[in-house]
Amino acid sequence: MIQRIRNRLSDNTFLLFITICLFIAMYIAGIIIYRDNNFGRFQVFLNLFISNAGLIVAAVGMTMVLITGGIDISIGSVVAMTCMLLAWMMENKNIGALPAIIIVLLIGIVFGLVQGWLIAYLKIQPFIVTLAGMFFARGMTAVISSDIISIKNETFLAIANAKIYLPFGGYLNRKGTMVYPYLYPSVIIGIVVLILIYMMLKYTKFGRSIYAVGGNEQSALLMGLNVKRTKLKVYVLNGFLAALAGFVFCLNTSGGFVEQAKGFEMEAIAAAVIGGTLLTGGVGNVIGSLFGVLIKGTIETFITFQGTLSSWWTKIVIAALLCFFIILQSILVFTKHKRRKAIT
Amino acid sequence: MTKLSKKFFALLLVGIMVFALAGCGNPAKETTKETDEGKEELIVVGYAQVGAESDWRTANTVSFQSTFVEENGYKLIFDDAQQKQENQIKAIRNFIQQEVDYIVLAPVVETGWETVLGEAKEAGIPVILSDRMIDVSDDSLYVAWVGGNFVKEGNDAVEWLDGYLKELGRENETINIVTLQGTIGSSAQVGRTQGVEEKLSEHPNWVMLDKQTGEFTQSKGQEVMESFLKSYDDIDVVIAENDNMAFGAIDAIKAAGKVPGKDIIIIGFDAVKAAFEAMIAGDLNCSVECNPLHGPRVAEIIQKLEKGEKVEKIQYVDEGVFPADTAADIIDSRLY
């Protein structure tokens, strides 16, 4: 049976399949273990999205970059800078919420444009370019303000606090009132971004050329694809998504603070890898990254429901999962290699 | 054949992972079962702690963990946020879904709590703040705040100094004071400076020569004290806004050839264990406590709320003043 499933799925989808199975297994285990603590409630599931909406957006962008064979470690700092800029513009400069959001998204695009140009046209290692970007954005955050700025802008808070109730899945809470599950606009943004990028990668010419560039740059070039342009576009889009992730993150914390979102980029990379993206490029799927984020969220939920375990165990479990997926990936690459050899 | 076995191996690994996870959960399952019987009486408290960045914080955590035990009728769900606000927000959302009876929050930052505390309020779960205050427009989002009174700590320091100088018979002398301030803008610095200055004005013969920030660190405290010693040759008292800076000042005074604790009176804040050691050695004269043991006070508030009584919104924990002569008796009972 395993053979049959395996035969029907390509390597790409096989990794995705395992990730999804793992998530479902973990979630069911959680429901059984913590059945007395309401783990099975639909709201607990929605909270995974509410708490990680920003990370979903960032992980989608990261996946795209990883598929090209690149990396972007600046997004955590860009998220912090975006939050700080939003807070600073709205609170200290009296700029309206909407113009402020548009400005930070534009800044994200410019940020991506500069990084992308350096990577694609000057052929500098993406790691180094985005490392510089990381320091720059974090530094700028502190320069804008080293104090914490709290957002009081009414329009912004209205967006942040707009609960969207679902018409199903309600439950009686301990006071006996019926509570319907809810989500926030941030979740909608995350899901929309996920679907759009998924469609783009799967059905557009640009999306296919991203895979081609990441799979083998040389043959992509021989195929007549504009490799440089494709890379530049990916980094620009990623810059935009990083800023958007910052906005979504800010909806959750409604404030700017230098120390915000530290290690965010690493969480995004981890989510992508757990979701089946190969760091060598050419292989990856944004749906997998979504499940990567959800797995991380589930582990965190596990630990809070458990109540006595140190929250640092999240990191250890993530480390174990990363090892597991990397080993699995190399096994797949190895067997594929062998198969090819056998054919020729 | 080898291909098949490898795939099988991969799937086996998945199986092991799932098993391991289920195994991890097993002990938890047992404990929940045990508590099931007594679930009616146990009050479930979720505590979203900042992290474990300092001895003070660890003592604060231990205070909660030792107060909210099953023998006292509580079940504590503890979450270490690793200094990240987003982790605290997640933890609070999970507490709400678990339908805990009370949420205790020691916020990482003051801002951004409206949304998630609004959810707690809607779920009817009272929130008690510990240590730091939050910046919200609607103060019904929390029922009470428990923490230290930095202004009072400043007052206490000056009062102790007054008494000590009388003991030495120096109350009518001109007393030159310097202050090593904490990180400017931090609530401890603002409160302690204000507290000291309020009381200082009652003593016309006391002169505040200078004050400068030592950023709460020992090395910076030493540096600033060295420059003070060069600029002023008649310093009688050093007020260091935390113990670490006091330790730095002690080193600087020793290096300048003076005797700390005798030639120059030194007052510190926080009353950490190392301060007691310095007091026993005779280097430090006094340390004003910044009490991290918030657990019992929070438990008191919860008991009142359980009975339906009203509680004070702002509650300061008791904080002591520890002069050097009491240090030897107290040091063993200090937890941090």
Residue A309: its pLDDT value, please?
81
CATH topology of domain B150-290: Rossmann fold (3.40.50)
* Pairwise CB contact (< 8 Å): B21 & A34: no
Compute the average pLDDT of residues B229-244.
Answer: 93
A337 conformational bin, left if phi > 0, alpha if psi -120 to 50, beta if neither: alpha
* Pairwise CB contact (< 8 Å): A253 & B111: yes
A4: in domain: no
Residues of A in contact with B10 (CB under 8 A): 18, 328, 331
Q: Which pLDDT tens digit goes with each residue over B199-234? A: 998 999 999 999 998 888 899 999 999 999 999 989
Q: Which residue has the higher pLDDT, A26 or A306?
A: A26
Rounded to a whole number, what is the distance in Å from the CA of A339 to chain B's nearest CA? 9
Q: Which residues are paired to B129 by β-bridges?
A: B105, B145
* Pairwise CB contact (< 8 Å): B8 & A2: yes
Question: A 267-326 residues with CB below 8 A of B?
Answer: 297, 300-308, 310-312, 320-321, 324
Amino acid at A156: F
Q: Which pLDDT tens digit goes with each residue over B47-90? A: 999 888 777 888 899 999 999 999 999 999 999 988 888 899 99
Residue B73: its pLDDT value, please?
93
Rounded CA separation A5/A106 (Å): 45
Q: Which pLDDT tens digit goes with each residue over B78-135? A: 999 888 888 999 999 999 999 999 999 999 888 889 889 999 998 899 999 998 888 8
Residue B17: band (very low, low, confident or very high) from pLDDT cuts 50, 70, 90: low
Q: Which pLDDT tens digit goes with each residue over A144-190? A: 988 788 888 999 999 998 999 998 878 877 777 788 899 999 999 99
The number of CA neighbours under 13 Å toward the Cβ of A77 is 18
Rounded CA separation B280/B12 (Å): 62
Rounded CA separation B225/B206 (Å): 19
Average pLDDT taken over every residue of chain B: 85
Check if A17 contacts B (Cβ < 8 Å): no
A251: in domain: yes
Q: Which residues are paired to A283 by β-bridges?
A: none
Check if A12 contacts B (Cβ < 8 Å): no
Residue A227: its pLDDT value, please?
93
Check if A33 contacts B (Cβ < 8 Å): yes
Please report which helix (H) or strand (E) contains residue A164, including its range.
strand A164-165
* Pairwise CB contact (< 8 Å): A51 & B86: yes
Q: Which residue has the higher pLDDT, B40 or B280?
A: B280
Q: What is the CATH number of the domain that holds A114?
A: 1.10.3470
Residue A1: its pLDDT value, please?
56
Q: Which pLDDT tens digit goes with each residue over A263-297? A: 999 999 999 999 989 888 888 899 999 999 999 99
**Cross-chain CB nearest to A310 (options B26, B28, B80):** B80
- Please give the C-alpha separations between residue A25 and each of A12, A206, A305, in angstroms, as whole numbers: 20, 35, 17
pTM equals: 0.81
Query: Is the pLDDT score of B3 beyond 60?
Result: no
- Neighbouring CB atoms inside 10 A of A113's CB total 16
On the question of a common fold for B3-146+292-317 and B150-290, the answer reads yes
* Pairwise CB contact (< 8 Å): B118 & A161: yes
**Cross-chain CB nearest to A47 (options B79, B81, B97):** B97
User: In terms of CATH architecture, what is B3-146+292-317?
Assistant: 3-Layer(aba) Sandwich (3.40)
Cβ-Cβ contacts under 8 Å for A342 (sequence gap 6 or more) = none
Rounded CA separation B1/B305 (Å): 68
Question: B 26-45 residues with CB below 8 A of A?
Answer: 26, 28-29, 32, 36
SS3 A165: strand
Residue B245: its pLDDT value, please?
93
Residues of B in contact with A338 (CB under 8 A): 3
Residue A254: its pLDDT value, please?
87
Check if A219 contacts B (Cβ < 8 Å): no
Q: Which residue has the higher pLDDT, A294 or A304?
A: A294
Rounded CA separation B248/B38 (Å): 52
Place of tokens 């083998």: A216
- Select from B5, B34, B37, B98 the residue whose CB has the most chain A CBs within 10 Å, as the one to mutate to test that interface: B98
| Lookup: tokens for B51 | 């992290």
Check if A259 contacts B (Cβ < 8 Å): yes
Q: What burial class does residue A42 get, using C-beta atoms within 10 Å of its C-beta: 0-12 exposed, 13-18 middle, 19+ buried?
A: middle
Q: Which pLDDT tens digit goes with each residue over A192-250? A: 999 999 999 999 999 999 999 998 888 898 888 999 999 999 999 999 999 999 999 99
The number of CA neighbours under 13 Å toward the Cβ of A10 is 5
Amino acid at A280: T
SS3 A153: coil
* Pairwise CB contact (< 8 Å): A301 & B79: no
Amino acid at B265: I
Residues of A in contact with B93 (CB under 8 A): 47, 50-51
Residue B27: its pLDDT value, please?
41
Distance of CA A310 to the CA centre of its chain: 25
Residues of B in contact with A33 (CB under 8 A): 22, 25-26, 28-29
SS3 A255: strand
Check if A13 contacts B (Cβ < 8 Å): no
**Cross-chain CB nearest to B98 (options A29, A37, A300):** A37
CB A165 within 8 A of CB A181: yes
* Pairwise CB contact (< 8 Å): A331 & B79: no
Residue B40: its pLDDT value, please?
58
CB A57 within 8 A of CB A189: yes
What is the phi/psi pair of residue A240, to 5°? -60, -45
Helices (H), chain A: 2-8, 11-33, 42-67, 75-92, 97-120, 126-144, 154-160, 185-203, 205-215, 217-222, 227-253, 264-274, 286-306, 313-343
Place of tokens 């009490």: B291
Query: Is the pLDDT score of B326 beyond 60?
Result: yes
B177 conformational bin, left if phi > 0, alpha if psi -120 to 50, beta if neither: beta
A3: in domain: no
A1: in domain: no
Q: Which residues are paired to B213 by β-bridges?
A: B181
Q: How many domains does chain A have?
A: 1
Residue A268: its pLDDT value, please?
96
Check if B185 contacts A (Cβ < 8 Å): yes
Report how many Cβ contacts below 8 Å link chain A to chain B: 150
- 3-state secondary structure labels for all residues of chain B: CHHHHHHHHHHHHHHHHHHHHHHHHHHHHHHHHHHHHCCCCCEEEEEEECCCCCHHHHHHHHHHHHHCCHHHCEEEEEEECCCCHHHHHHHHHHHHHCCCCEEEECCCCCCCCHHHHHHHHHCCCCEEEECCCCCCCCHHHCCEEEECCHHHHHHHHHHHHHHHHHHHCCCCCCEEEEEEECCCCCHHHHHHHHHHHHHHCCCCCEEEEEEEECCCCHHHHHHHHHHHHHHCCCCCEEEECCHHHHHHHHHHHHHCCCCECCCEEEEEEECCHHHHHHHHCCCCCEEEECCCCCHHHHHHHHHHHHCCCCCCCEEECCCCEEEHHHHHHHHHHCCC
The closest of A128, A70, A133 to A107, measured between CA atoms, is A133
Rounded CA separation B136/B121 (Å): 14
A250: in domain: yes
Compute the average pLDDT of residues A94-107.
Answer: 95
* Pairwise CB contact (< 8 Å): B77 & A304: yes
Check if A44 contacts B (Cβ < 8 Å): yes
Rounded to a whole number, what is the distance in Å from the CA of A203 to chain B's nearest CA? 30
Residues of A in contact with B76 (CB under 8 A): 307
Q: Which residue has the higher pLDDT, B40 or A141?
A: A141
Question: B 188-247 residues with CB below 8 A of A?
Answer: none
* Pairwise CB contact (< 8 Å): A29 & B18: yes
Query: Is the pLDDT score of B22 beyond 70?
Result: no
Query: Is the pLDDT score of B161 beyond 70?
Result: yes
* Pairwise CB contact (< 8 Å): B97 & A38: yes
Residue A343: its pLDDT value, please?
64
Place of tokens 């980029």: A265
Check if B126 contacts A (Cβ < 8 Å): no
Q: Which residue of chain B is at minimal alpha-carbon distance from A174?
A: B99
Cβ-Cβ contacts under 8 Å for B291 (sequence gap 6 or more) = B148, B317, B318, B319, B320
Residue A168: its pLDDT value, please?
83
Residue B28: band (very low, low, confident or very high) from pLDDT cuts 50, 70, 90: very low
Delimit the domains of chain B by residue range. Answer: 3-146+292-317, 150-290
Query: Is the pLDDT score of B34 beyond 50?
Result: no
Average pLDDT taken over every residue of chain A: 90
Residues of A in contact with B90 (CB under 8 A): 47, 51, 297, 300-301, 304
Residue B58: its pLDDT value, please?
86
Residue B37: its pLDDT value, please?
46
Domain range holding A87? 10-34+42-343
Residues of B in contact with A340 (CB under 8 A): none
- Neighbouring CB atoms inside 10 A of B22's CB total 17
Residue B26: band (very low, low, confident or very high) from pLDDT cuts 50, 70, 90: very low
The ipTM (two decimal places) reads 0.86
Query: Is the pLDDT score of B30 beyond 70?
Result: no
Residue A206: its pLDDT value, please?
94
Check if B110 contacts A (Cβ < 8 Å): yes
Residues of B in contact with A21 (CB under 8 A): 14
Percentage of chain A modeled with pLDDT above 90:
62
